[in-house]
Amino acid sequence: MSAVYQLDAVGVRLGDANVVQDVSLEFHAAELTAIVGPNGAGKSTLMSVLSGFRRHYEGRCLFRGREISQWKKPELSRQMAFIPQMLRLEFPFTGEQVVFMGRTPYCNGLFESSADREAVRRAMELTDASPFAQRPFQALSGGERQRIVLAGALAQEPEVLLLDEPTTFLDLKHQIQTYSLLQRLAREGMAVIAVTHDLNLASSYSDRIVVLSRGRVAADGKPWEVLRAEILREVFEVDVEIRPDHTGRPWVYYCQPSGETPEQPIEGPPDGAANPC
């Protein structure tokens, strides 16, 4: 299967800092890839290259065999949707109007077509955003906005979906719902690439995890190949213990730093189970 993205020695320099260095990766359709790493690892900068927003970089970033910087934005937006960490809208659009913006690449006139309306309805239903259709976007909570923005991306009907911290403002129910949806989209053939700080969400739902550290790829592979104690200790500088969950996927337990004790005792695991840390 040919790769959707082919990155060869991609680098980004901001001022005197090499934010991304010598990154060579491939991303494929029907795959949910989580990109993880500490703050400043270069995750968002790499996403800006993949999305086509950053036009100046070193190396090669091919999207469907053509340099990403050579794609015209209208052409690219029919194939790829990108959700950044934050979306600011200064005008009083309703939630539904924001989702309709996702249909912009298909607009041929002033009025929405039946295909546009159906795509918007389906996207809002998938993201549990229908209750916010007529509410002002600026009046929504962070989590509600996040669901509207995701609906707008899905309304584009993309073949590739890029997401930078898609569950930052979401409650537990909608974090799980969002990653379940991303997993389903990947299984249906979409290439999904998501930046996240939640290693256990990444482990539970992704097909593959890429770990960035200081702008470089520190690890790349299946969750059980990447979420290893020695790798996470080196990259994140925290002590961890890895154990399989009920499905056999790795689950990360974060341990109390050596020599430190919490001010209040922490209730132990139920039924006297041993704490892995």
Q: What residues pair up with 164 in beta bridges, in sequence order?
A: 195
Q: What is the pLDDT of residues 103-152, one digit of tens each?
A: 999 887 666 889 999 999 999 999 999 999 999 999 999 999 999 999 99
Q: What residues pair up with 33 in beta bridges, in sequence order?
A: 193, 208
Beta strand 240-244 with 216-221: parallel, antiparallel or unpaired? unpaired
Residue written as token pair 């999305």 = 51
Residue written as token pair 């309306």 = 117
**What is the fold of 5-79+159-272?**
Rossmann fold (3.40.50)
Q: Report residue 43: phi and psi, to 5°.
A: -65, -55
The Cα angle at residue 5 between residues 11 and 58, in degrees rounded to 5: 20
pTM to 2 decimal places: 0.90
Q: What is the pLDDT of residues 56-68, one digit of tens each?
A: 999 999 999 999 9
Percent of the chain whose predicted confidence (pLDDT) is above 70: 91
Beta strand 31-36 with 58-63: parallel, antiparallel or unpaired? unpaired
Domain boundaries, the chain: 5-79+159-272, 92-157
Instruction: Say which amino acid occupies 144.
Output: E
- Report the Cα 53 to chain-centroid distance in Å: 16
Cβ atoms of residues 179 and 167 within 8 Å: yes
